[in-house]
Chain A
């Protein structure tokens, strides 16, 4: 088994005239919680979709857990898509049943514990949930899987501060156990950065900066400061 969770070599992707990823080179070791940060349009979602096999690179090579991305590799990946919603007719309970049927290594007991921790009613229907409750449900469906790679694309988008704190607390407890690789993209840096072992900064589809979270903080002060500097100054790795 390879020690590398994700490897991208010279990966490019264009959508018409827009370049989403531009000769991206990234290597992410296993067992790290990695923040993938950058402004809108930096290529974070395209990068994640590529890892989940939803989009194909125009050029370059992508490997996830030693495999080419695709439905076979997805057996070992829990992916929370960007702007995702849940089936509106499902209750939390039915969503867990769905996950048990279709998502390999879904741990029902962990899911129920997380639901209790995040104060999510098992009888509540997704169609009647607030955005925060629905986000918690979808996050549980990912985090409750015993898989080596978890990819969370903007898991806090549109969620109030209280819900965000509950989610981060639950994440702290369940994903920072050292054997999982977790990739999180978010604009809510301040609340989440304590989770990160390392951070990758993307801009215009390129890798701008990468490193251990603590070392970067020591060097730059805070993650927000790095984003500001990169956004304004375009510092290279």
Chain B
């Protein structure tokens, strides 16, 4: 197979969720909890719509800021599962460049995060339709406003995902290396970088509670910290490759 075909085959392999050996089938419970969360969300929304006349469903889009952290967790999990499931020896002796093995996990965690985000987006759109129909206030402009808010925050998160995905993958490699003592220092650095790049949102993301034009406006200057995040992502993946080559503990 050509390098590119192998790479995408690796991504597809990494996309599959694998339960840990000897653990209960968590997938069933995940659906149970999702059903509970949806039921609670519908109940709470119904209450808010009926009891609080000023309820603004657009704020629900701020859930998207959890997605980068989900992506980091999945990046770590994809690396960790090779070691936990005893398949690391197979994975690490594949005759392909180390960087390709890691980047496939990085791409897989981003794609998985995007799939989750798209699924939740669809769920929240349905919830929005439910609330406006319950209020009897459905308008095309209101729907457009809701979708515009979601699209903007989705784009922001899309720009952040490479950074957090690379942090997750690098952290996963670090955990199984002789450099493991650096983990606390790594988390400290991640916190500082996150705050420096993205948390100062008053400069980049503006909230306009009035209707029309979307709940949030995004400054084009946000592209700057995003671009720095992409460069850092490339650096972190290079670092993770180096750890994989030289510092693994088996």
Interface of A toward B, CB cutoff 8 Å: 49, 52-56, 71-75, 77, 79, 81-89, 98, 101-104, 127
Contact = CB atoms under 8 A, between A and B. Distances in A.
Q: How many interface residues does chain B have, given as a range?
A: 20 to 34
B208 interface: no
Nearest to B5: A101
A85 B87 contact: yes
A88 B18 contact: yes
B95 A71 contact: yes
Given A54-B250, A102-B96, 9 more contacts: A49-B250, A54-B93, A54-B248, A73-B95, A81-B89, A83-B86, A84-B87, A87-B87, A101-B9
A71 B87 contact: no
B152 interface: no
Contacts, number: 68
9 contacts: A52-B89, A55-B250, A74-B95, A79-B89, A88-B18, A88-B21, A89-B19, A101-B6, A127-B19
A89 B17 CA distance: 9
Given A49-B250, A89-B18, A98-B13, A84 B89 contact: yes
Contacts of A73: 95
A71 B97 contact: yes
B90 interface: yes
3 A-B pairs with the lowest CB-CB distances in the bound complex, closest first = A81-B89, A85-B86, A75-B95
A89 B16 contact: yes
A52 B94 CA distance: 10
Contact of B85 (A77, A88, A103): A88
B93 A53 contact: yes
